[in-house]
Amino acid sequence: MKFYSTNNINNQVSFREAVIKGLPDDNGLFMPESIPVLDANFFATLPQKSIAEIAFEVAKPFVKEDINDEKLQTIVEETLNFPLPVVNVHDNINVLELFHGPTLAFKDVGARFLARCLSHFSNNSEEKVTVLVATSGDTGSAVANGFLGVPNVDVVILYPKGKVSHLQEQQLTTLGQNITALEVNGTFDDCQRMVKSAFLDKPLNKAMKLTSANSINIARLLPQSFYYYWAMAQLSGADDVVFSVPSGNYGNITAGLLAKAMGLPIKGFVASSNVNDIVPKYLATGNFEPKPSKQTISNAMDVGDPSNFPRMTALHKNSWETICQEITGYSFTDGETKEAMKMVFDKYGYVLDPHGAVGYLGLQAYLDKNGGTGVFLETAHPGKFADTVEEVIGSVEIPERLGAYLNKEKNSIEMSNQFEGLKDYLTKHLR
């Protein structure tokens, strides 16, 4: 299997090269040259399989030239060693809980898979790799946890100052060792732009080996498809399943679209956004118009230029009409998000985080018009957004492993939102 750039189909590399490079030289995104369709027996026996067994079969066609079966089995078993349950909230509305991993966010799945792939590829190598990652909240902590203490790997996390929750920031800035947190005076879009600029800077890449841990890396995107199969296995017998995905950079929903392209019988998707509604507006008008992001209580979705959009269009041959057949888009304000959090808690006793609440709202809007069996993704534990959640419902449980970060000392480096500052730091401190 080769992986091409969305900016040049003739620019093709192996899975190993795509993972290590992170981003093609032409600023596109890596995509598989073809989408394998899994056989009917695989889908018929989904409910009898473990999530690791499912992940092995899904990943194998993409990685088999670079990762042997034995190593791939180890990678998926180590990646997926925590529960990912589907829970009924009420009626035909279910939630896929993706917050039971080490950092209590869905990014744990992709980050752990990527870390293990990179570790495998760098085995017996003395060359140091620097992992760059921009985060609007949860990506950074998941990546930091996945790579903490890994030999010959430095992790540099860029996050927007004052625009992540207190607990998210503590998870980013208190680990030390090979993890460095850069506190950027700007937005997530600035952080993302700085990271992309680093990959396109030829002198910098000649001086050091850089790779990405954002969902622009194919080894972050691929494993996020695993839990769509797992959710369908838990909903055995349902043939009208719609997934509502709280969306910011659109890697999570793109992974679901990939699963459907491989044969998973999903009815459709809902792109649920906050007021950063670039993709819902595209679905309504056919015009993709990035714009500066706006700060909201669902901060991980505060993205004004979603980087995975080219993959979404590539999966549908750049056809707006085809994309609209697969995805319905809705956007919601902070006020609507808080109202949903309160209503679901008061009426059904379920605690939503601000991102899951947006997913719930999008799903409810879709089902009211179309019916079906609905699943929304709860992407982070509500305790990570304690201030907002407690304002709405009164109290929230903070798991012990999350609360442990509260008393640790923050250690970050402030930086402007200009690429030159990042380049100066990397060349002086990490060569």
Q: Would you please indicate which residues are annotated as catalytic (active-site) residues? A: 107
CA–CA gap between residue 117 and residue 369 (Å, rounded): 42
Residue from 109, 71, 357, 60 nearest 227 by CA: 109
Q: What is the 3-state secondary structure (H, E, C) of the chain?
A: CCEEECCEEEEEECHHHHHHHCCCCCCCCEEECCCCCCCHHHHHCHHHCCHHHHHHHHHHHHHCCCCCHHHHHHHHHHHCCCCCCEEEEECCEEEEECCCCCCCECHHHHHHHHHHHHHHHCCCCCCCEEEEEECCCHHHHHHHHHHCCCCCEEEEEEEECCCCCHHHHHHHHCCCCCEEEEEECCCHHHHHHHHHHHHHCHHHHHHCEEEECCCCCHHHHHHHHHHHHHHHHHCCCCCCEEEEEECCCCHHHHHHHHHHHCCCCCCEEEEEECCCCHHHHHHHHCCCCCCCCCCCCCHHHCCCCCCCHHHHHHHCCCCHHHHHHHEEEEECCHHHHHHHHHHHHHHHCCCCCHHHHHHHHHHHHHHHHHCCEEEEEECECHHHHHHHHHHHHCCCCCCHHHHCCCCCCCCCEEECCCHHHHHHHHHHHCC
